[in-house]
A and B are shown apart, each in its own frame.
Chain A
Amino acid sequence: TQLLEQSPQFLSIQEGENLTVYCNSSSVFSSLQWYRQEPGEGPVLLVTVVTGGEVKKLKRLTFQFGDARKDSSLHITAAQPGDTGLYLCAGLFYNTNAGKSTFGDGTTLTVKP
């Protein structure tokens, strides 16, 4: 069974602080996605990373894919209350021949004003 581990599980910070959340696996990803989900809504895609070592930026969010493609991080600079939500990583593993994504359990982020 291929598992994704996300950490931390919960994170509560003040507005303006920086934070990093992590997504790790013992298996190699062919691609990895980060999603943000609000309560009662579907996950919304933030980014897809494919190449080892890849760094992508989306405004205050920076996504990094590990060189070995087994891990990824999401860094948020100067967090705002609007960043509050569940952040999920999802991986397509290299030895999977179908689009069967495995999701982590997510990091629940709360940004207090």
Chain B
Amino acid sequence: DSGVTQTPKHLITATGQRVTLRCSPRSGDLSVYWYQQSLDQGLQFLIQYYNGEERAKGNILERFSAQQFPDLHSELNLSSLELGDSALYFCASSPSWGATDTQYFGPGTRLTVL
């Protein structure tokens, strides 16, 4: 158990819908990262927040957005969902944001778009 929690574990929805994924980092960690893992693209970095502020951005679509709240939990919002958005979405956390920080992953949310 990494100490990172994610809800829900599974989510099934239809195209065009909007969903929110939630992540609680390990106690004391200030950074939260979001990743997408699909069968054909491996683990792709989406976005990082550090202490409530966006720190780094990866391959995140404009239909996707995230935020980190004062209690340090984070939410990833996915809108206008498409079939290709079906994937595992992982949240990770680390103590800070530095180049040697190790990231600890949550169990993931499996999103299925029908």
Q: A residues engaging B (CB < 8 A)?
A: 30-31, 33, 35, 40-45, 48, 50, 88, 90, 92-94, 96-106
Closest 3 CB pairs of A and B: A42-B105, A98-B56, A30-B99
Q: Which of B46-60 contact A (CB under 8 A)?
A: 48, 50, 55-56, 58
Inter-chain CA distance A30–B44, complex, in Å, is: 19
Of the four ranges (under 10, 10 to 19, 20 to 34, 35 or more), the interface on chain B belongs to 20 to 34
Instruction: With both chains docked as a complex, state the minimum distance between the C-beta of A47 and any C-beta of chain B, in angstroms.
Output: 9
Pairwise interchain contact A99-B33, C-beta atoms closer than 8 A:
yes
Pairwise interchain contact B97-A44, C-beta atoms closer than 8 A:
no
* Chain A residue with the shortest CB-CB distance to B88: A40
Q: Which of B72-102 contact A (CB under 8 A)?
A: 88, 90, 92, 94, 96-102
Inter-chain CA distance A94–B99, complex, in Å, is: 7
Tell me whether A42 and B2 are in contact in the complex, defined as CB-CB below 8 angstroms, given that A33-B103, A50-B100 are known contacts: yes
Whether a CB of chain A sits under 8 angstroms from the CB of B14 is no
Inter-chain CA distance A104–B41, complex, in Å, is: 10
Pairwise interchain contact B102-A41, C-beta atoms closer than 8 A:
no
Pairwise interchain contact B100-A31, C-beta atoms closer than 8 A:
yes
Pairwise interchain contact A99-B42, C-beta atoms closer than 8 A:
no
* Chain B residue with the shortest CB-CB distance to A105: B42
Instruction: With both chains docked as a complex, state the minimum distance between the C-beta of B63 and any C-beta of chain A, in angstroms.
Output: 21
Whether a CB of chain A sits under 8 angstroms from the CB of B43 is yes
Inter-chain CA distance A45–B96, complex, in Å, is: 17
